Amino acid sequence: TSALQAGSSLLPALESAVTEVRAPLRGELDHVLQRIRLGGDPLEVFDQLMQRLPLETVRLFSMTLAVHWEVGGSLGPTLASVARTVRDRIELSRRMQALTMQARVTTITVLASVYFIALMMWRNDPVRMEGFLSLTMGQILVAGCLVLQAAGIAWIGVIAKPRF
């Protein structure tokens, strides 16, 4: 974005980005730059970038570059807006992680308390617990409890996961 705002064209700006960015993204941007330099269709190269990295932010970045390649115009302010959007999404995701931490801690606490109570019952009266677990009804109840706990963990995981 800084190179574009300084008056550079897209390919030198991508070169600058390749030298500045860290390892995971560096290889992908270098691949994009090399494919364009070798005569590849930029729209196809940006589309392949979206397919290799199926992230919403990469999709937004690639679409922005593809539209600029087709239409032209000032790319610097547009990429600055994309960067601001990406930063806002990351901040929102972090906030949501912090807010959903309470649900995760509550789930862990409830699960731990169930197993703690079962352990205490076993230690206090092992004969009664063995008798309970030897009955078909006791085995069904324990299995049902485990299935319901697994379903609850899966449900909390779906509810607490950000969807953007």
* Average pLDDT score over the chain: 86
Q: Which DSSP string do the residues of 60-111 spell out, in sequence order?
A: HHHHHHHHHHHH-S-HHHHHHHHHHHHHHHHHHHHHHHHHHHHHHHHHHHHH
What's the CA gap between 88 and 16, in Å, rounded?
24
Kindly tell me if the per-residue pLDDT of 5 is higher than 70: yes
Give the residue from 144, 151, 69, 153 showing the smallest Cα distance to 109: 153
Region 89-103 average pLDDT: 83
Kindly tell me if the per-residue pLDDT of 55 is higher than 70: yes
Give the pLDDT confidence score for residue 164 in this predicted structure. Answer: 55
Range picked from 59-68, 97-106, 108-117 for highest mean pLDDT: 108-117
How many helices (H) and strands (E) are present in the chain, helices listed first?
Answer: 8, 0
Give yes or no for a contact between 71 and 43, defined as CB atoms under 8 angstroms apart: no
| pTM > 0.85: yes or no | no
pLDDT band at residue 30 under the 50/70/90 scheme? confident
Give the pLDDT confidence score for residue 145 in this predicted structure. Answer: 92
Region 42-64 average pLDDT: 88
Region 128-150 average pLDDT: 93
Region 102-126 average pLDDT: 89
Give the pLDDT confidence score for residue 4 in this predicted structure. Answer: 76
Side chain identity at residue 38, one-letter code: L
Kindly tell me if the per-residue pLDDT of 18 is higher than 90: no
Give the residue from 4, 49, 51, 60 showing the smallest Cα distance to 27: 49
Give the pLDDT confidence score for residue 25 in this predicted structure. Answer: 82
Which residue has better confidence, 163 or 7?
Answer: 7
Kindly tell me if the per-residue pLDDT of 47 is higher than 80: yes
What's the CA gap between 66 and 44, in Å, rounded?
9
pLDDT > 70: percent of the chain: 98
